[in-house]
Amino acid sequence: MKLFTIPNLLTCLNLTCGVLAIIGFCTGNQEVAPILICISLIADFLDGFVARLLKINSPIGKELDSLADVVTFGVFPGVVMTYLLAETFPSGDFFKMREIPNLAFWAIVWIPAFSALRLAKFNLDERQSDCFYGLNTPANTIFVLSLWLVHHYHPEYLPKQNASVFWSLFALTPILGFLLISELKLLAFKFKNFTWQDNKWRFMVLITAVVLIASLGLLGIPLAVISYILISLLSNFIK
């Protein structure tokens, strides 16, 4: 059984970047995290693509991919949400352990656990070859990280030490967990061809995301994830 194949090395790159992003967040170097997560997303896409291209799919590659995703797209968003909860608590400070509210630790337990459940479910669910049932972990990570980007670069929308923002994020955490393991049928971006007829809903998601981000900047990223869910549900309803 070959371990050091190109797809497996790409998966390890995904894992390495996820670990470094977590370390960056916990040591005050949060600005490097978005770059590292972008690399992880690219590596996560390429490992499967390269495996299919080179026809070297293997059970170990599938298991390794899920293990890497638990860290990058499970533990990392849990850390980010914990950071946001700590920083928006009326007297909280993420970098002072005694000033992190106990309620903030809810996120570091909840999000990784439900991400792991989602990934385990995905591995055994044969329905998800060309769609997703439940919010996929990369999309969830993008959404949570985009909240930090808004908090960091547009604090007027997600200000520090604000009780209403804290409780909103606190309530959002279980919603994200349940979306991960839900039976909502969502679009998967697995193109068999690039015709409009076969991919119109995927193209609509991409076009909407580009318009939102181009017009609203960082504020458009979380809205793009929400639009992805809504367009997926609309496509299910029409079909």
Taking Cα atoms as reference points, which of 94, 5, 20 lies closest to residue 52? 5
Domain holding 26, by residue range, is 6-186
Residues 143, 208, single domain; the answer is no
Residue 1 domain-assigned?
no
d(CA 175, CA 202): 24
Q: pTM, whole model, 2 decimals? A: 0.92
Residue where a domain stops, chosen among 186, 204, 220: 186
d(CA 16, CA 22): 10
pLDDT tens sequence across 80-107: 999 999 999 998 888 887 778 888 899 9
pLDDT tens sequence across 180-193: 999 999 988 876 66
Q: Residue 150 sits in a domain of what CATH number?
A: 1.20.120
Residues 39, 136, single domain; the answer is yes
pLDDT tens sequence across 193-221: 677 877 889 999 999 999 999 999 999 99
Residue 37 domain-assigned?
yes
pLDDT tens sequence across 14-73: 999 999 999 999 998 999 999 999 999 999 988 888 877 777 777 787 888 889 999 999
Residues 116, 233, single domain; the answer is no
The DSSP code for 57 is -
Q: How many domains does the chain have?
A: 2
Q: Is the pLDDT of residue 168 over 70?
A: yes
Contacts (Cβ under 8 Å, ≥6 apart) of 176: 111, 114, 135, 140, 143, 144
